Structure 1
Amino acid sequence: MTIRILLAEDDDSMREYLSRALEKTGYSVTTVDRGTAALPLLENQRFDLLLTDIVMPEMDGIELAQRASVLAPDMRVMFITGFAAVALKNGQTPPDAKVLSKPFHLRDLVLEVDRMFQVGTAADL
């Protein structure tokens, strides 16, 4: 079974870069450029992982994760951010969410995703 990832990242080049790396290692990736664009997808499709930037226009990644946890309670969440301290404040994030701080190597991202789903693809990078 292919693991499906919803990637919410407002930076075009970062979104493309991350999507390509994850697809190369066998994940199915759907991308959006803002949190508000992710909500309709979460209502109509099943995803295994929400991979979201925290700082985005219209709706930040924390609010997106909170809404996603209602729509898809079994979906895992990973934040990618240059503001890790912000992600961890006030217990606003889902309790088992992962936080990956920018900058990071693509291998680190894939390793974290692999760990979440107990698979081994990062060796391909």
Structure 2
Amino acid sequence: MNKQIIHTDKAPAAVGPYSQAVSCSPNKMVFLSGQIGLDPSTGKLEDRSFDLQVKQAFKNMICVIEASGASLDNIIKTTLYLTDLSKFETVNSIMSDLFPKPFPARTTLEVSSLPKGAKFEIEVILSM
């Protein structure tokens, strides 16, 4: 397996022992680590509203996707983590405005907590 680490300064640095994303060949697949709503310039969590935190997480995700040489069209699977599943429709609304059709497969989970006190996290798998 040919493994390549993907990193961009346009998204927050890893907050633990992991990479922002890893790709592998020969059929290039890219596995993004979970992205939360950290502002990459300050390293602080977007905490003004849930909507803004979700949008920042998506911005971070897009920056890592672009660093891999891909686009939103390459996403085949998403996993969403929310600390409050009652916010599910808010995330759906933001995603439907951002993601191109046909939409990727998705799993959504409610979790008790996320790193840095985030309320939302997204991870994706890309196929290129």
TM-score range, shorter chain: 0.3 to 0.5
- TM-score, normalized by length of structure 2? 0.35
Question: Which structure ranks higher in relative contact order (CA pairs < 8 Å, sequence separation ≥ 6)?
Answer: 2
Higher Cα radius of gyration: 2
Higher strand share: 2
